[in-house]
Amino acid sequence: MPRNVNDIINKLSPAERKKVEARGAQLIAEEMTIQELRRARKLTQQRIAKTLGIGQEGVSKLEKRSDLLISTLRSCVEAMGGRLSLVADFPDRQPVVLSGIGGIDMEPVTGSRKHSRSQVQA
């Protein structure tokens, strides 16, 4: 007889159920689009736009893009109050945190659209 996930969850103890729900929330939180991240941080496009020094429509366009410069992504994350880090995962070794890409090691640039030439080209 086939079982569905609800049957399995209903048989769990409250503590086990809470643990499963917490892990599910953690997995969901690990992968978000820029738009989902902004919404999770309870920020509006207007507020991000003001911090970046662009119009709201510019934020909307950024959120729809599938390919961004690392420096642009860094600026968006910083406008949300975060810090961008890049990690390379390999099957045969521990993850490697990449540095020196897109001005990541530089001081955060928030509230301004002005970037040095090296940041913009990254």
Instruction: Judge contact between 117 and 104, C-beta under 8 A.
Output: no
**Which pLDDT score is estimated for 109?**
40
**Which pLDDT score is estimated for 29?**
72
| 100 vs 86, more confident | 86
**Domains of the chain, each with CATH number or no CATH:** 32-121 (1.10.260)
**Which pLDDT score is estimated for 1?**
63
Confidence of residue 112 (pLDDT cuts 50, 70, 90): very low
Instruction: Give residues with Cβ within 8 angstroms of 95, minimum separation 6.
Output: 87, 88, 89
- Which of 12-16, 66-70, 99-103, 111-115 is the least confident region? 111-115
User: In this prediction, what percent of the chain has a pLDDT beyond 70?
Assistant: 82
Would you say residue 117 has pLDDT above 90? no
Instruction: Give residues with Cβ within 8 angstroms of 78, minimum separation 6.
Output: 84, 108, 109, 110
- The model's pTM is 0.60
Q: List, in sequence order, the alpha helices (H) in the chain.
A: 5-10, 14-29, 34-40, 45-52, 56-64, 70-79, 117-121
Distance of CA 18 to the CA centre of its chain: 25
Instruction: Kindly write down the DSSP assignment for every residue of 55-81, as one continuous string.
Output: -HHHHHHHHH-S---HHHHHHHHHHTT
Average pLDDT across the chain, whole number: 81
